Structure 1
Amino acid sequence: MKAVVKSNILPDNGIKMTLKDYYESLPKTTSPKTEFLKRVVDECGVSFGTAINWAKRGMRPADEKHLPTLSKLTGIPEEELFD
């Protein structure tokens, strides 16, 4: 079992660190699925939950105006996006 260190001083260099500092020090990783959903959110102007409903749950947008954007982002013809 690994011991839990209850200190905000890093053992290897003695520098104090806050939660924000810790978060900012984490490496930036990318997830293609998350990045795609973020693009859908940005380009369609919808919530992240809505983008998930469309992409992950296969729910068709209530407003058809989003279909051209989704088609452009994916390269899938509009009529095949939700078949």
Structure 2
Amino acid sequence: MPGGTGNTWDWATAAALAPHHPFALAGGLTAANLPEAVRASQAAGLDASSSLETAPGIKNPDAIRAFLEAAAALPPPPASFVWKGNS
């Protein structure tokens, strides 16, 4: 799927990667769906952009604030997901 679509997808399909290849999840992430997206995918990181805009290229401060608050409320990723540099 090309980036920047703002479309969600079946996040659970990525969960098998998580134990061996920590990844950042992207695709239609919002404050409302963030807990389910992280739970289903087991992502170590998050990437959001177009879902935080009121129009293409125009960021919505309220959406950004809500997204960051939702992200801060998530449990931390397992220690095995912590970046250890190039290895």
TM-score band, normalised by the shorter chain? Answer: under 0.3
The structure in which a higher percent of residues are helix is 1
TM-score by length of 1: 0.23
Select the structure of larger CA radius of gyration.
1
